[in-house]
Amino acid sequence: MSSYSILEEHFSRLHHLQHVEAMLSWDAATMMPAKSHQARADAMATLSLLIHESLNSTTLKESFEQLDEASLTDEEKKSVREMRRTWRLATCLPADLVKQQSLAAAKCEHGWREQRPDNNWGGFVSNFRDVVRLAREEATYRSKVTGLSLYDALLDKFEPGMTSEKLDVIFGELKSWLPNLIRQITERQKGEAVQLPKGPFSIDTQKQVGEKIMTLFGFDFDRGRLDVSVHPFCGGVPEDVRLTTRYNEDDFTQSLMGVVHETGHAKYEQGLPESLRHLPVGKARSTAIHESQSLFMEMQIGRSSAFLESIHAILIDEFGDQDALSLENLKTLYLKVKPDFIRVDADEVTYPAHVMLRYEIEKDLVEGKIEVEDIPMLWKKKMQMYLGVDTADNVKNGCMQDIHWSIGAFGYFPTYTLGAMYAAQFMAAMKKTLPNVEERIAKGDLTDLQAWLSQHVWTKGCLDTTEELVFNATGETLNTEYFKMHLVNRYLSTEK
């Protein structure tokens, strides 16, 4: 058996272990009984250790050393590039650290579920300190191997090729115009009358609506499902995609767009190259590219007037007719810009401010410039500065609102805004080759749009680097001007 065949077989087995890990994580977030927490945490820690040991096997090391890359096809060379990256990301960490992180994250995340509703920062901190300590250890190990700064070594897990130096430039540009744009839009919208839909809207009905819209987007229910969790997410593997959302019987609007968002993630997963899904090269390119697909569906399509027109009849059929569900009111409602506490409920204009403040805090936290105890005050200061919102004594809607830090996902937050920028750039490129995009969306015909995404993003997997993928799809690397133009055109144009 050739060295490449041995590598391919090894990473195929790893894919199956990761499938099991994903299902255990999904179940823990959706259906696991509360008192099963510790047993599940122990099981997942053991599984994390097995995956780590698999990547640290002598077989992999010897196969990489003996590999004759000159004899490989271009696709196989790219496959080896991604295998090596996965291997290096794992082998730089000691097994004991991997196990400790899994246990600490499970304990902190489980506690967060009860502590957040109780506004219990003290209880959260008692677990969170360990998560941060271990993240700093991880960053130190990764930094030594990659030569990156402590924070960049963690960012690299999610967004290879991106650095805090580049982010500071991107976010610096954003800060130069975003605050003024928020003020312009909120001032313009002051005179707009908007009605909130009047519930109750049963959870069963909301789920039916969500599934109808998932069908409109072409989601394959034979390879996935929709469930409920505290924090919406999309997980699993391409052959078994698991989406979640959360419902509020008084307001269906947030869960509806949450489903559209997660369906964007799911469509990317289901569209990855089938012959390569078991290998690192067949997986999603990066977290920002993943977010670009969910935000393309939610922001570029989902909140557009054309899309709301296409689903209006579904909403009336399922929820009944009322003034608040008129098409014009829905358009106004879904384009309402209002600085507020919660990131996942934020509009697309204020959302980047939520991301920037998290990035600034977590970067300093990982690099030891601040400590856990400093977070609430820094959060309060930055929320006031960026959004004019006061989070004093309100940590449940402040620094405890997200799941990411509780599970040690430092370096993840910047990918949300990078994803929004990529999404805007993809749409601008798509419009050059697909005329009458809005008309297609208004008719509920997303076939050509998704074919474009499949051709330029989904089926590429990790065959191209992020820069190559974006350049090949749009003719240029990341250009933040498209995001600015999208927001200005949508929110400040004379016609909406």
| 217-258 pLDDT, tens digit each | 999 999 999 999 987 899 999 999 999 999 999 999 989 999
Residue with tokens 């390569």: 276
User: From first to last of its 496 residues, what are the pLDDT tens digits of the chain?
Assistant: 899 999 999 999 999 999 999 999 999 999 999 899 899 999 999 999 999 999 999 999 999 999 999 999 999 999 999 999 999 998 999 999 999 999 999 999 999 999 999 999 999 999 999 999 999 999 999 999 999 999 999 999 999 999 999 999 999 999 999 999 999 999 999 988 899 999 999 999 999 999 999 999 999 999 999 999 987 899 999 999 999 999 999 999 989 999 999 999 999 999 999 999 999 999 999 999 999 999 999 999 999 999 999 999 999 999 999 999 999 999 999 999 999 999 988 999 999 999 999 999 999 999 999 999 999 999 999 999 999 999 988 999 999 999 999 999 999 999 999 999 999 999 999 999 998 999 999 999 999 999 999 999 999 999 999 999 999 999 999 999 999 999 999 999 855 4
> What are the residue boundaries of the structural domains of the chain, listed by start?
3-151
Separation of alpha carbons 8 and 249, rounded Å: 48
Check residue 266 and give its pLDDT: 98
Report which of 432, 478, 11 is spatially closest to residue 289, judged by C-alpha positions.
Answer: 478
Of the residues 8, 76, 109, 262, only one is catalytic, namely 262
Residue with tokens 């052959």: 239
Tell me if 157 sits within 8 A of 414, measured CB to CB.
no
487 token code pair: 């927001």
Give residue-wise pLDDT tens across range 266-307: 999 999 999 999 999 999 999 999 999 999 999 999 999 999
Residues 6+ apart with CB under 8 A from 230: 29, 113, 246, 403
Whether 262 is catalytic is yes
Separation of alpha carbons 324 and 369, rounded Å: 48
Residue 156: burial class (beta carbons within 10 Å; 0-12, 13-18, 19+): buried
Tell me if 233 sits within 8 A of 263, measured CB to CB.
no
Residue with tokens 């977070």: 375
Give CA 146 to chain center in angstroms.
24
Report which of 470, 476, 436 is spatially closest to residue 456, judged by C-alpha positions.
Answer: 470
